[in-house]
Amino acid sequence: MSKVVIAGGGLAGLACAKRLLDAGFEVELVEATARFGGRATSWIDPADGFEVESGIHSFFGIYSRLSALLREVGVSRDRMLQWQDEVAYLQPGPRYHVFGINAVRAPHRVLAGVLGNNTYVGPRDKLGVGRAIAHGLRRRRAYVYETVRGLAHETGVSRIAYELVLRPLARSLFFLEPEELVAYAPLTLARHILASPASIRAGTFKGGMGEVMIAPLVRWLEDHGATLRTGAAVRVLRYVEGNPGRVIGFEVKGGEVVRGDAYVSALPVEVVQTLLPPSWGELDYFANLQQIETVPAISVQLWFDTCLVDRETFIFPAGSPMAVLQDQSFEAFTTRGSRISCQVVDRATDGYTDEQYIALVRRELQRYFPLSALAVLRKAVVVRHRAFAMRIGAEMRRPPPASPIPGFFLAGDYTRQDWFTTMEGAVRSGEMAAAGVLTALGPPPA
């Protein structure tokens, strides 16, 4: 039986392992950390029993491949998720401005959001955003060379709509400011959304992602013969020089070399960049990969003794470095008081210490929820990852899964798929890498 070795146990690596097992391959997966799931997981802090997550996530109804993957391992989306048909923008007070997002399931909410909320963004401001999206979708591929700011300027989006609508969305979805973000990326996501209007829903997890989503997938893989290992960081990519050469193993922590007939790197791009042999830089494929940039993806999680937020939907605080926040005490981590998880995006804070991030978020929460100044902070955690940066030029550098090195493949949301830095993008990249392996090696003998 042909064996495939996968490095990286995030969604990309796990999805790749699932599809390879389906095809009849032997699979060994090595993960550097103590847990699987990558940027989409959760765990118990052994010091105090609090459950920590890798970062705030929304499971969108349009995630078709992730949904299929979970269904195949016995996970029901509707049991795993609490569906939301609205989102809220937030101003200090707190003042909420609620917008419906599903015109099929909740048309009255969509209509109320569009016709109302005029103290937040006026009718002309809303029309301007709609006009920019419609114009951008008609010329989507041309905007691979233009930023969101350029698109907004070209189509006459008002400054109010730019700051109060577009900036929070750019930060929350792509970890970038609209002045940095290439317009092609959000326009492509908008195309996916408009293609499935009935599926435009935002799901919040009923429990930690590690428990309700990742653990069942890991159990299925192990039950079907996969070898899954944690604490096995890839230190060296063993290879034989040649034209073009070949990979002969992943050397993991401790010096063991894990060998197979094909190899898939589902590691974060910034890790892959450190492992590539220098001689591979002569190939355009790897030269482009080395130029992919990343930015901080910062999650700040705070536990308070009293309730601060009266809803569990996703909230976009206007004019704040908190790109998006959610009170997860309702469903995900049921507890007394508030369990606030937020994503911080502000280039000026990129070098902050954990203490500085926590202090920043506390100040911001007091600005939007003044009563939070009276709440007792029970625990605070900062979780750091990095995300690839969809700036101008990034799309041309993103690699397809099959590399020029025979038997060596890449998976990860930075690879060439049009769901970008989403869970759906990670899953699709893993499945594409598995398809590449199947094409290269052929089906294993029965």
Q: Is the dihedral of CA 275, 278, 280, 282 positive or negative?
A: positive
Phi, psi values for residue 13, rounded to 5°: -65, -40
pLDDT for position 244: 80
pLDDT for position 331: 80
Nearest to 365 by CA among 414, 306, 421: 306
Q: Are strands 294-304 and 339-344 parallel, antiparallel or unpaired?
A: antiparallel
Instruction: Please enumerate in sequence order all residues whose Cβ is within 8 A of that of 121, keeping only pairs 6 or more positions apart, or say none.
Output: 129, 160, 161, 164, 165
Is it the case that residue 334 has pLDDT exceeding 80?
no
Nearest to 162 by CA among 181, 149, 145, 172: 149
Q: Which percentage of the chain shows pLDDT scores above 90?
A: 93
Is it the case that residue 127 has pLDDT exceeding 90?
yes
Q: CATH 3.50.50.60 residue ranges in the chain? A: 3-34+230-293+391-441
Q: From the centroid of its chain, how far is CA 266?
A: 14
Q: Is the dihedral of CA 283, 289, 292, 295 positive or negative?
A: negative
pLDDT for position 350: 95
- pLDDT tens-digit readout, 168-184: 999 999 999 999 999 99
234 in helix, strand or coil? Answer: strand
- pLDDT tens-digit readout, 371-406: 999 999 999 999 999 999 999 999 999 999 999 999
Tokens of 117: 């909320």
Tokens of 214: 């990742």
Provide the CATH topology of domain 3-34+230-293+391-441: FAD/NAD(P)-binding domain (3.50.50)
Cβ(5)–Cβ(25) below 8 Å? no
Higher pLDDT pick, 136 / 311? 136
Is it the case that residue 325 has pLDDT exceeding 90?
yes
- What is the rounded CA–CA span in Å between residue 5 and residue 28? 5
- pLDDT tens-digit readout, 23-74: 999 999 999 999 999 999 999 999 998 999 999 999 999 999 999 999 999 9
pLDDT for position 167: 97
Averaged confidence pLDDT in the chain? 95
* E-only strand ranges, 118-233: 202-205, 227-229
Q: CATH 3.90.660.20 residue ranges in the chain? A: 39-101+201-208+294-388
Alpha-carbon distance values, 15 to 21, 53, 72 (Å): 10, 20, 11
- Which CATH code for domain 39-101+201-208+294-388? 3.90.660.20
Model confidence at 243, pLDDT cuts 50, 70, 90, reads confident
Cβ(5)–Cβ(260) below 8 Å? yes
Is it the case that residue 336 has pLDDT exceeding 80?
no
- pLDDT tens-digit readout, 140-179: 999 999 999 999 999 999 999 999 999 999 999 999 999 9
pLDDT for position 187: 98
pTM summary value: 0.96
